[in-house]
Amino acid sequence: MRTGLIRLLMSFLCVGVLASCGSSPKVSYYTLGTALIENNPAVPTGTGYTVAVGPVSLPEVVDRPELVTRVGANEVDLDGERRWAEPLGSAIPRLIAQHLTHSLGAQPLLAYPYSAIDTADYRVIVDIQRFDSEIRSGATIDAIWTIRRMSQKDVETKIGRSHIQESTVGDGYEALVAAHSRALATLSSDIAEAIRAAAAMPKYHTLDRPRGQGR
């Protein structure tokens, strides 16, 4: 009698274990948006120059598939059920290139193909030093960016800094990702302004090195 009861309990336990193994949690995937591009008129094309965007570097703590949120001064949370649909190192330069193409009206801008670096008129390199995400608070991006105007004689350089904070509109991860999309649009606007100023200078004119700018 006791042996039969034990076998019955063991069978229920095995069924429970198999059921729990078969039901994995649903994973949500997020992408950085281009709504700000789509909702604003584009600058007419024909400026006559090209720009190669990249590489873009990120802090190692956020350069991973999982969304990383800050939960304390020295603590972050990695959410395995919420992930980026593609690596940030690929998505961010392409998004910046799209914004620059839209706002500058330049020739098709290229997100860091190695073959295009030598032929582009300008090259943009971005070092994102802070890419913070806080639920119900917002997104913070600190970035140092470098614009190199390529010429046959020399490489002229301009360096800038952007500090951007975007509050979330709503709760949850979708609102947080949207805040990062807006912050990257602002970063792209800073870079576009600097390229526009550089393009207005005579060729081979030494580009200035501002101490930084931000919003």
- Break the chain into its structural domains and give their ranges: 30-199
Range from 49-53, 114-118, 129-133 that averages highest in pLDDT: 129-133
Neighbouring C-beta atoms of residue 20, cutoff 10 Å? 9
The pTM score is: 0.79
The yes/no answer on whether domain 30-199 falls in CATH 3.40.30.10 is: no
Q: pLDDT digits over 64-90, tens only? A: 999 999 988 889 998 889 999 999 999
Structure confidence at residue 133 as a pLDDT band (50, 70, 90): very high
Give CA–CA dist 74/202, Å, rounded: 48
pLDDT of residue 42: 62
Kindly report the backbone phi and psi dihedral angles of residue 182, in degrees, each rounded to the nearest multiple of 5, phi listed first: -65, -40
| 48 or 168, greater pLDDT | 168
Average the pLDDT over each of 2-6, 20-24, 114-118, 188-192 and give the range with the smallest value: 2-6
User: Taking a C-beta distance cutoff of 8 angstroms, is the pair 147, 171 a contact?
Assistant: no
* 3-class DSSP assignment, residue 61: coil
In the predicted model, is pLDDT for residue 28 greater than 50?
yes
Give how far the C-alpha of residue 174 lies from the chain's centroid of Cα atoms, to the nearest Å.
15
Q: End-to-end alpha-carbon separation of the chain, Å?
A: 76
pLDDT of residue 163: 98
What is the chain's mean pLDDT, rounded? 80
Give CA–CA dist 79/177, Å, rounded: 14
